[in-house]
Chain A
């Protein structure tokens, strides 16, 4: 495989890793939001 193809693959892998990291941070934020919602709703139950 030529060097430039390897470079392109590694380049996009690095970008994909950052996008995956953003996705996992987004999920963590959503989990915190759900936990907060359930905590706020608790006294009404």
Chain B
């Protein structure tokens, strides 16, 4: 078996493994895990909320470290890593706020409150969004990378604030609620399943950005060496 064949087979196995894990996690969260007495069925949101919240934090950490490496070496490869983490992390951060808001409505009777954990999480989402907007709005690639990397690096300050918000400041967000062993196992399964799933999405996006960069170089080269495009591409 050749190396490329091995890669395809292992990628296929990994996809099936992640799908199986996610199906098992979903089944555990919706059917097997016992219903919490005070909140009822809505408490089951916790399993996806904690998973995407953790991934939102991890995504920003990856983005921040890659941004730092870009600023140190001025290598655009690190900016592509940072961009892929930016996109997937933004999705996770948005889903954290959405699922958290539904959970808050059931637990506290309000969709939003300026609790320290919620506020710092909103700030994290705003930082993710700002980086995404800046990437899309600045044409010159190194200037765009420099500005977004600086912002991502600055935004790293918010990470410990989000993690420690429930301990450092007084708020209503639960720190680590007591759970039955089955609920703990369900949460763990969800966290592992979603971590693998979003890692696959991150790698796919990274591969696309790398291919896009390579194609840009080849297109420029082709334009210099073969200045006349084919009739079909010219619209003839």
Contact = CB atoms under 8 A, between A and B. Distances in A.
Interface in B8-58: 26, 30, 41-45, 48
Contacts of A2: 41-42
Interface residues on A, range: 20 to 34
A19 B149 CA distance: 26
A22 B205 CA distance: 7
A35 B232 CA distance: 9
Interface stretch (B94-102, B117-125, B152-160, B177-185): B94-102
Interface in A2-33: 2-4, 7-8, 10-11, 14-15, 18-19, 22, 25-26, 29, 32-33
A7 B102 contact: yes
B98 A11 contact: yes
B232 A38 contact: yes
A32 B229 CA distance: 13
A4 B40 CA distance: 10
State the main secondary structure of chain B at its contact with A: helix
25 contacts: A2-B41, A3-B42, A3-B102, A7-B48, A7-B99, A7-B102, A8-B30, A8-B48, A11-B98, A14-B91, A14-B98, A22-B201, A22-B205, A29-B208, A32-B215, A35-B230, A35-B233, A36-B222, A38-B233, A39-B226, A40-B222, A40-B226, A42-B226, A42-B230, A43-B226
Interface of A: 2-4, 7-8, 10-11, 14-15, 18-19, 22, 25-26, 29, 32-33, 35-36, 38-40, 42-43
Interface of B: 26, 30, 41-45, 48, 91, 94-95, 98-99, 102, 105-106, 201, 204-205, 208, 211-212, 215, 218-219, 222, 226, 228-230, 232-233
